[in-house]
């Protein structure tokens, strides 16, 4: 453990001294992870204890996916890639997930609960290559770099 990490842990123990008088590291780390996970869930799929009602229930313009759509899609898809292979096997990936337009955005796809899904990065790219072609997607990825 580096000095910076050690100092941060010690500082957190000091700040939580009223709630965790023993300074128990396991309890401190559990609280820290709870806070980090909560923050990441809010950012990734708009998790909220009391979500606001959407101002506009229709699709948003551009690539923006509204918070109510992200929440509903994440819940519906179980926080997991929805790709199903020819054998009927559903991808088990829960990392590198992306919100994917069922009808490609480039072809007018809209960000609605019914027209969005979760895909892992690999399956999102695979679908794009099947739709637009491998060479086209290679050029797009190079252009984005």
CB-count exposure of residue 39 (10 Å: 0-12, 13-18, 19+): exposed
pTM of the model: 0.67
Length of the chain as a residue count: 145
Query: Can you give the pLDDT at residue 138?
Result: 86
Which helix (H) or strand (E) segment holds residue 4: the answer is: helix 3-15
Domains of the chain (ranges; CATH) run: 3-45 (no CATH), 67-144 (1.10.30)
DSSP, collapsed to helix, strand or coil, labels residue 20 as: coil
The pLDDT of residue 56: 59
Q: According to the model, what pLDDT value does residue 58 have?
A: 55
Mean pLDDT by runs of 10 across the 145 residues of the chain is: 93 91 93 92 79 61 82 94 95 94 77 92 92 85 84
């Amino acid at each position: 453990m580096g000095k910076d990490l050690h100092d941060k842990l010690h500082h957190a123990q000091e700040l939580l001294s009223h709630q965790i008088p023993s300074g128990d590291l396991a309890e401190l780390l559990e609280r820290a992870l709870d806070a980090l996970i909560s923050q990441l869930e809010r950012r990734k799929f708009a998790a909220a204890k009391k979500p606001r009602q959407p101002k506009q229930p229709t699709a948003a313009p551009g690539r923006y996916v509204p918070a109510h759509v992200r929440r509903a899609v994440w819940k519906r898809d179980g926080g997991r890639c929805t790709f199903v292979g020819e054998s009927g096997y559903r991808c088990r990936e829960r990392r590198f997930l992306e919100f994917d337009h069922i009808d490609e955005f480039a072809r007018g796809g809209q960000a609605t609960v019914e027209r969005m899904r979760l895909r892992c990065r690999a399956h999102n790219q695979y679908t794009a290559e099947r739709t637009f072609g491998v060479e086209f997607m290679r050029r797009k990825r190079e252009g984005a770099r």
